[in-house]
Chain A
Amino acid sequence: MHPATEKLVSDLKGKNFTLAACDYAERGYHFEIDLAADRLREFAQCLLEQEMYLVFVGGLHVEPAIEVIYQFASYDRPCRVVLRVAVDNNNAIPTISDIYQGANWHERETRDFFGVTFTGHPNPVPLILAEEDVDLKPLLKTDANLKESAALRWVRVEEQPETDEKADKD
């Protein structure tokens, strides 16, 4: 492990954030962590101090509450951190756009697509969607499609189905 990554893990541990290591070869990122909404800003601040940049902020509509997914990475070593934060009862989550200015647009986009409110956001207006479509929330699932958060956690399917000879003719 890269020394800076080790430092990151131990520093975060000191602040009571436990990163769970993932298999990069399978999942394309190194650490994952679930957090409560009230600790999000503290975590983001820690990562900024460790010179991690924000890759994206995205939403995920699951039961029981919408999750906001953050991915952070480093410029000088392979180290990706995925952070999941569930929104509270009012569909709200604190903003990190004052810590990571790049989050500003990502949060506005997530607000467009999922209707998540980012409390403290300096400019909460639609970014991608038109202002009249503010109630559209296109990425929300219908009840039939909605899944439990726990049902979407990583499970490795060990056995792939047999290779089909005709597959490449499709």
Chain B
Amino acid sequence: METAQLNLEPATDIQHDNRYYLNMGPQHPSTHGVLRVLLEMDGEYILDPQPVLGYGHRMHEKMAEHKNWMAFMPNTGRMDYAAALPYNHGFVSLFERLCGIEVPERAEYIRVITSELNRLVSHHLWLGAFLLDLGAFTPILYTFIDREKVLDILEDITGSRLTYCYFRVGGVCKDIDDKFVTRTREFIKYQRERFDVYNKLVTGNIIFLKRVEGVGVISKDMALRYGVTGPVARGSGINYDVRKNEPYSVYPRFDFEIPLGENGDSLDRYMVRLNEMEQSLRIIEQALDQLPAGPFLGKVPKKLKMPVGDSSFAVEAARGELTYYMVSGGGDIPYRLKIRVPSYSNLSILPELGQGILLSDLVTAMGSLDLVIPEIDR
């Protein structure tokens, strides 16, 4: 084992005499994809967990330097496969801001509705997978029933179920119809009833509460030092949501709350995400009420000419702040595109978070971070 290279120097402490290494992943049921965590352990206690990344690395940033925006568009949907639409959103908005392209209002509403549906789907997936990590097999099938309903709705208009490439610079590629609106409204009603089921099945369960309370506590200071964002930061009581903080699209027009936790433990992160699902429903509901008529795709020059220089665009993806930072040398191909993915910073907290906790707690803590590994590896 390449211990020296991973800087796991033997502990000099005599208590840690019995330590050994355990390889969790890359094929392990609770690492959700191809993450490997090299654990230095003493009995069931973890002394030092070191994630080993890169199994799903595709070098999207390099690809971006060789393609114009249209050709790179599908790549944006392939980083965070669980919530691809916010990635679409950030990418097209970056270009629109740079090139000063007007987006029709209807298109912005459609973007918000679909993005929020996508966030909902992502939280469904997380809820099921998190409970699976805790050893409860059934909730994932319940959340997948609900997830399927949203995916069916989204499939109708976007043409795909997972790796969306639906937004275009200047709008979206296909208009939504009345059928979409009715189905979405029906779904909102249905989903509200389902929260009771989740709460009865999971939230009130004493075993569940005992497993998550006080596990994986992230303090505000820790979150700041690691640049943690999204529901993980909000679980620690940090009132930070790009949708409120640096409003983009038509988000300022909607009335929604940012759920916050207090202690920063896994339970808080769970509650934050569960409440976020309800807030997403609220946003969708309002957006459907206000949905203006009009074109869904604005007038866009055939070949975008970007100004020289750098610019940045941040959106709130399902897992936290997603920032595209582009340096352009003119022309329609970026000179450099840096993609800041939320899970990357959220996972980098693990070596500190996992020190001295039990293996079972590490699994819980990792599950509560809601990781999507292809997003981290890019």
Contact = CB atoms under 8 A, between A and B. Distances in A.
Contact of A75 (B238, B308, B313): B238
A4 to B, nearest CB: 13
B214 interface: no
Interface in B107-138: none
A160 B301 contact: yes
Contacts of B103: none
Give the size range of B's interface with the partner.
35 or more
Contact of B5 (A28, A131, A168): A131
Contacts of B308: 151-155, 157
A69 B339 CA distance: 12
Nearest to B306: A157
B35 interface: no
B372 interface: no
A56 B340 CA distance: 6
A101 interface: yes
Contacts of A128: 53-54, 57, 377-378
Given A75-B240, A128-B53, A166-B302, A55 B227 contact: yes
Interface stretch (B21-29, B175-183, B263-271, B321-329): B321-329
Interface stretch (A5-13, A33-41, A77-85, A87-95): A77-85
A161 B100 CA distance: 11
A160 B305 contact: yes
A51 B222 CA distance: 11
A128 B112 CA distance: 33
B311 A122 contact: no
Contact of A164 (B97, B302, B321): B302
Given A75-B233, A127-B54, A163-B299, A155 B312 contact: no
Nearest to A121: B7
B54 A157 contact: no
Contacts of B98: 26
A167 B301 contact: yes
Most buried by A among B61, B228, B349: B61
Given A55-B227, A60-B327, A60-B336, A161 B305 contact: yes
Given A102-B228, A164-B301, 17 more contacts: A28-B313, A29-B312, A56-B338, A60-B335, A73-B314, A80-B314, A129-B57, A139-B61, A139-B65, A151-B329, A152-B329, A161-B301, A161-B305, A164-B300, A164-B302, A167-B300, A168-B299
| 10 A-B pairs closest in CB distance | A154-B309, A102-B226, A58-B338, A56-B340, A164-B302, A28-B312, A102-B227, A75-B240, A123-B7, A157-B307
Interface of B: 2, 5-7, 53-54, 57, 59, 61-62, 65, 70, 94, 97-100, 168, 170, 223-229, 233, 238-240, 245-246, 297, 299-303, 305-314, 321, 323, 325, 327-330, 335-336, 338, 340, 344-345, 348-349, 352, 377-378
Interface of A: 25-29, 48, 51, 53-56, 58, 60-61, 69, 71, 73, 75-78, 80, 82, 100-102, 104-106, 113, 122-123, 125-131, 138-139, 147, 151-157, 160-168, 170
